Amino acid sequence: MRITTRFFYALFAVSLCAAACSSDGGADADARTNGDTAGEVVLAEPDVSEAADAPNQTFGDATDCPTLTLATHDSFAYSDGLFESFTEATCIEVEQVAAGDAGQMVSAAILTQGNPTADVMFGVDNAFLQRALDADLFSRHRSPLLDTVDSALQLDDQNRVTPIDFGDVCVNYWIDALPGDAPTSLDDLIDPVNADQFVTENPETSSPGFAFLLATIARYGDGWEDYWQALVDNGVTVTAGWEDAYYGEFVAGGGERSMVTSYASSPPAEVLFANPPVDSPPTGVLFDSCFRQIEFAGVLTGTEHPLAAGELIDFMLSAEFQQDIPLNMFVYPANGDTELPQTFVDFGALADEPLILDPAVIEANREAWTDRWVEIVLG
């Protein structure tokens, strides 16, 4: 027994070492553990982007070519080799790690605030933005490309986060399965013609579900409770997540409901990933119901490489990265100069006047709203 124990201690030690070294090389791992203060010093500077513009700059630490860790939610997707040109131009290596859905990622980041597992985080949306800002997750960085971004997308005037992409959460409908005319307004969902047709997601467990709740609040103000009561009376059903709504209750997966809370970009995906191929999507979007979701990136407080992290944010707003976004993540690039793929131009649509709420208002009322929603809908 004693021999085995010793043997496995050794094995364990070896594996721990391998683990510690495999992430980003010995030198950098050391730097990470010794230099806790570097990030905070830089943090005090109001704007670090100008320094980043200088050629041949160093990145505020001993390593000239740092490896940055980019934390994202699980849905982050990109084309092969996307970061290679960035590495060539700046000598900064990028390692992406996915850490659950947006809620998990933000909650985890708040818990590790000051000693982050990554340097840059991508994927905080406006529903969670205020919570992240309140927790002091991000350091300031103003990208020179921010001017290309519609000001409506810029929700933090202190530039702690940078908008990268946006999309709309909207009610979708299966054109051939509608009992009546295609819906054109939120009010159509409570029309008895559409009884038992609508499925949405639980705002407490699903991001589009929460967005739809916010849409109704943005539209009806205090009247949202009555609207939901009317939805309940008209037979709305609720699922835990998008998958079981879209593929469980909605016609797309063999269900019987013709309306579902999904995304404005779902129809182009239905075309792109149709089987057999189709010319036009089987689904349509109820633009009146659209709530705008904006996804941000930010430099995490406590990073060893704040300047390099800023460079990465700039790259994410550049044409190369922005063009890659639509067909990988089915959302729209924040950089207004970006050319859209044809499928998006043809079928993807955005609401002209999407519903939106101030992140601070969302955070302040989240618990009260969801508690009330539970009372009304789940009784």
- Min CB(55)–another protein separation in Å: 31
Least distance to another protein, CB of residue 131, Å: 5
61 vs 249, beta carbon nearer another protein: 249
143-182 binders of another protein (CB under 8 A):
none
Which residue from 44, 176, 276, 279 is in contact with another protein, where contact means CB under 8 A? Answer: 276
Residue 213: count of CB within 10 angstroms of its CB = 27
Is residue 292 near another protein by the rule CB under 8 A? no
C-beta of 263: minimal distance to another protein in Å? 8
| Closer CB to another protein, 114 or 336, in the complex | 114
Q: Is 99 in the site for another protein (CB under 8 A)?
A: yes
Distance between CA atoms of residues 73 and 103, nearest Å: 9
CB of 143 to another protein, least distance (A): 24
- Contact range with another protein by CB under 8 A, out of 96-104, 223-231, 291-299, 303-311: 96-104
Task: By CB under 8 A, name the one of 45, 64, 74, 358 that touches another protein.
Answer: 74
Candidates 143, 266, 301, 318: give the one binding another protein (CB under 8 A).
266
Q: Does 279 bind another protein (CB under 8 A)?
A: no
Residue 14 is a binding residue for another protein (CB under 8 A): no
Site string for another protein, 230-259 (x = CB under 8 A): --------xxxxxxx-xxx---xxxx----
Q: Which is nearer to another protein, 220 or 247 (CB)?
A: 247
- Of 344-363, binders to another protein (CB under 8 A) are none
- Residue (52 or 198) nearer to another protein, CB: 198
